[in-house]
Structure 1
Amino acid sequence: MIKQVPLEELNMRMERFRTVMSQYNPGWEMAVIFSKINMYYFTGTMQEGMLLIPRDDEAVLWVRRSYERAEDESLFPLIRPMGSYRDAVGSYKNLPDTIYLETYFVPLAMFQRFQKYFPFKNVKPLDMIIAKLRSLKSNYELEKIKRAGEVHRRVLEERVPEILEEGMSEAELATRLFSVMVEEGHQGISRFSMFDTEMAVGNICFGESSIYPTYFNGPGGCYGLSPAVPLLGSRERRLKKGDLVFIDMGCGVDGYHTDKTMTYMFGSSLPDEAVEEHKKCVDIQNKIASMLKPGAIPACIYKDIMDSLDEKFLENFMGFGKRRVKFLGHGIGLQVDEMPVIAEGFNEPLKEGMVLALEPKKGIEKVGMVGIENTFIVTGQGGKCITGDNPGLIPLY
């Protein structure tokens, strides 16, 4: 059965887009969306094609493939087929000089093919406008995110302890975990705005592999399968008594994600220092969560937290060695890494209905990455956690 995004939801998003565009770019005349994620946000389907939005006319979803599927899936008012951009351009007279598009996403060659038929002279970015729109979730979106959060909680807090067994490899845990996630309701993929990044599972690590360097912009690490596939987990690294187990993964339902990290102590407790540093990370998460109220400034939250931490604790906080990240949390929705970010430079106030993942973590030599991550909704009473309240380092011995 096809799950269609309600027409009133799509209309509301387009109306908000036009309002915000006119606020930040008063002279805009036309915008175009190519990315499948943003196309889904505005139309309820993700196809090969483009969404053209004139300022003073109705938006049209032009579909190369598959028009039939778009018609089945989407309640968007105007969907038309096209074989190439040539088929679409005839519907527009007196094209403006300037087009707004997703400059973070559209490759130069793709734009040149588009410009061959739509000869715009100037290009301006659309990315931050859409990021602002998507950062504030509707009730429809919040329900999807809450469902993802419940799947996440159930799997990482209840089912993983049943899966872990001595001698299994990281890769084996990853494949078993993926099966369980999908069984529980996960959509099977986690999407990121970071260029060229999608994941089926996440960082699945035993011990020191969780602090191994990766290209991924997060505090944790992962050996992965090989240099060609630095994902899932190693086939060689096997679980043994005394290991820290570190699982950092997204969970999605109908496109919408939550993010969660859970840790486990397998066979015996970790060193006292590691346990204490983990508890500090949990305390930091809870403190940040209490600050997630409408009007709070993300950059101020970041500064308040970082200024409160002593120099010794800051060593290897939010990473390990030279590979450390400069944020404490991030927005989440149709992609795992959205706005706003709890980091310097993010000065727009939080609004009720925004959703953020908080992930204070700390690398410990010869142990791995301790800490926690959960997903929270901004409310007047502070952040409401929707991915569970287990503090992590679950003892399995």
Structure 2
Amino acid sequence: MNLNPTKQELENRISKLFNTLSKSEYNFDTAIIVSKVNQYYFTGTMQDGILIIRRDGKVTYFARKSYERAKLECPLDIIYKMSTYKDMLEVIPTYLGNTFIETEIVPISMLERIKKYFSMEKINSIDRIILSLRAIKSEYELGILTESGKQHQYLLENIVPGILKEGMSEPDFLTELYSRMVKLGHHGVSRFSMFQIELIVGQVGFGESSIYPTNFDGPGGMQGMSPAVPIIGNRKRYLKKGDLVFVDVGYGIRGYHSDKTQVYSYGTNPDEEVVKVHKACIDVLTEITSLIKINKIPSDIYNKIMRDLPDRLSQNFMGYRESVKFLGHGVGLHIDEMPVIANGFKLPLEENMVIALEPKCGMKGVGTVGVEETYVVKAEGAICLTGGPREIIVV
């Protein structure tokens, strides 16, 4: 497996973006890409810079810091040194015409600095266009995601049970988990496209901590360190016999993430009702995966599943008291990508989309149970990359 995207891989990605923007419906003159993750997707490097694609086909990557590293990492002959946006005038014209930018990412202050030297007829959003392209993975990307899934499965099934010790705090567990992840091969960060998301490793919690209210848009909960840092874990919550341990973590190698959740019971078998609710979530996952097929509509899948939920999941499904409105999400360079298995999401599923599916349920006095696995959409259906769902593991 190639460690870095090849010149051909990057040229294919740029070509797909250019061909999409060149459709008459967009009337595009210039695309400006500022996001470091999107810059990496198209150039193979991640610098303080700006990527410009013009209607005439010219592609330029202006790197402020580090120009030298950009030259080392990007196999394309598109790199120019930049100190200020004014330097770009040496290569591209001052009039940019109908311009597409990442409106979900670019601050108004940055846009104003660019407009100091360049004029734009109209500003359009390019975010969803790029996300749609990124949703369909190449063979190169699938190779990385497949390896990530294998390591992810090994982490949660073989390593985590050995970490859990009676009396350890939630931060003790998370920091040891993070250390073991990096030693195994994890790239060390969890990247989200959602605005203002801070998360270290993922959501982990002992007992009712995993149903504690949280600002994170996911079905689990987390109390965190304090109101100022509502992540990582509660220093005063210690693992004890009978606790459920909820571990929902993204895992990644070379920039690409898989997503998986495993629930454990510490020191004793879980109560019968807990086992039944967890099993009901596994059954829902089985039903969802049977519907994941090329050309199927995500909103149709979501609505069918929600309409046919078993009685055991009639309350607190997909979140305790505050349910999230999706069943799954794309994964890749970000943990939250397209497609989304949610009402209103009409983009048909295509081959080589990679999706994390996560039916879960909050239980009062217990915590969050359920599963999450990462799948790739193929002609034969959904193929699991992370090993498949497990019953609650007793440690």
TM-score, normalising length: structure 2: 0.97
CA contact 1:247–1:261 (8 Å) conserved in 2? yes
**Alignment correspondent of 1:95:** 95
**C-alpha distance in 1 between matches for 2:310 and 2:158:** 35
**C-alpha distance in 1 between matches for 2:380 and 2:48:** 42
Letter in 1 for 2:223: Y
Q: In the alignment, is residue 366 of structure 1 matched against residue 369 of structure 2?
A: no
1:295-306 correspondence runs (5 A) = 295-306=295-306
Letter in 1 for 2:130: I
Task: Measure how far apart 1:197 and its partner are.
Answer: 2.1
Letter in 1 for 2:7: L
CA contact 1:189–1:199 (8 Å) conserved in 2? no
Describe the superposition over 1:78-120 as per-residue Cα deviations: whole angstroms up to 9, x where unpaired: 1010000000023223623321000000111111111111122
| Count of matched residue pairs | 394
Letter in 1 for 2:172: E
Letter in 1 for 2:370: G
Task: Measure how far apart 1:25 and its partner are.
Answer: 3.6
CA contact 1:189–1:198 (8 Å) conserved in 2? no
Describe the superposition over 1:21-70 as per-residue Cα deviations: whole angstroms up to 9, x where unpaired: 12374411110000100000000011111000001132000001100011
**Alignment correspondent of 1:48:** 48
1:312-323 correspondence runs (5 A) = 313-321=313-321, 323=322
Unaligned runs of 5+ in 1: none
Task: Please give the secondary structure, in 2, of the residue aligned with 1:315.
Answer: coil
1:167-182 correspondence runs (5 A) = 167-182=167-182
**Closer, same or farther in 2 for the Cα pair 1:333/1:174, shift >3 Å?**
same
Describe the superposition over 1:121-149 as per-residue Cα deviations: whole angstroms up to 9, x where unpaired: 42111011001100000000001111111
Task: Measure how far apart 1:196 and its partner are.
Answer: 2.1
**C-alpha distance in 1 between matches for 2:45 and 2:197:** 20
Letter in 2 for 1:285: L
Q: In the alignment, is residue 267 of structure 1 matched against residue 267 of structure 2?
A: yes
Q: Identity across aligned pairs (percent)?
A: 47
**C-alpha distance in 2 between matches for 1:377 and 1:52:** 31
1:314-333 correspondence runs (5 A) = 314-321=314-321, 323-333=322-332
**Which deviates more from structure 2 when the two are superposed, residues 308-317 or residues 181-190?**
308-317
CA contact 2:60–2:79 (8 Å) conserved in 1? yes
Letter in 1 for 2:261: T
Letter in 1 for 2:36: K
**Alignment correspondent of 2:377:** 378
**Alignment correspondent of 1:154:** 154
Describe the superposition over 1:149-174 as per-residue Cα deviations: whole angstroms up to 9, x where unpaired: 11110100111011111111110000
Q: In the alignment, is residue 215 of structure 1 matched against residue 198 of structure 2?
A: no
CA contact 1:290–1:381 (8 Å) conserved in 2? no
CA contact 1:201–1:249 (8 Å) conserved in 2? yes
Task: Measure how far apart 1:274 and its partner are.
Answer: 1.3
Task: Measure how far apart 1:312 and its partner are.
Answer: 5.5
**C-alpha distance in 1 between matches for 2:61 and 2:86:** 15
Task: Measure how far apart 1:314 and its partner are.
Answer: 2.3
Describe the superposition over 1:326-374 as per-residue Cα deviations: whole angstroms up to 9, x where unpaired: 0000001000000000001111210110000000000000000000001
CA contact 1:206–1:244 (8 Å) conserved in 2? yes
Q: In the alignment, is residue 141 of structure 1 matched against residue 165 of structure 2?
A: no
Task: Please give the secondary structure, in 1, of the residue aligned with 2:186.
Answer: coil
Task: Please give the secondary structure, in 2, of the residue aligned with 1:319.
Answer: coil
Task: Measure how far apart 1:3 and its partner are.
Answer: 4.3
* Root-mean-square deviation (Å): 1.4
Unaligned runs of 5+ in 2: none
**C-alpha distance in 1 between matches for 2:294 and 2:76:** 32
**C-alpha distance in 2 between matches for 1:25 and 1:282:** 43
**C-alpha distance in 2 between matches for 1:394 and 1:357:** 21
**C-alpha distance in 2 between matches for 1:151 and 1:312:** 33
**Which deviates more from structure 2 when the two are superposed, residues 347-356 or residues 117-126?**
117-126
Describe the superposition over 1:204-231 as per-residue Cα deviations: whole angstroms up to 9, x where unpaired: 1000000001110000011111111111
Task: Measure how far apart 1:392 and its partner are.
Answer: 3.4
Runs of 4+ in structure 1 displaced over 6 angstroms? none
**C-alpha distance in 1 between matches for 2:217 and 2:123:** 29
CA contact 2:372–2:389 (8 Å) conserved in 1? no
Task: Measure how far apart 1:390 and its partner are.
Answer: 4.4
**Which deviates more from structure 2 when the two are superposed, residues 31-40 or residues 225-234?**
225-234
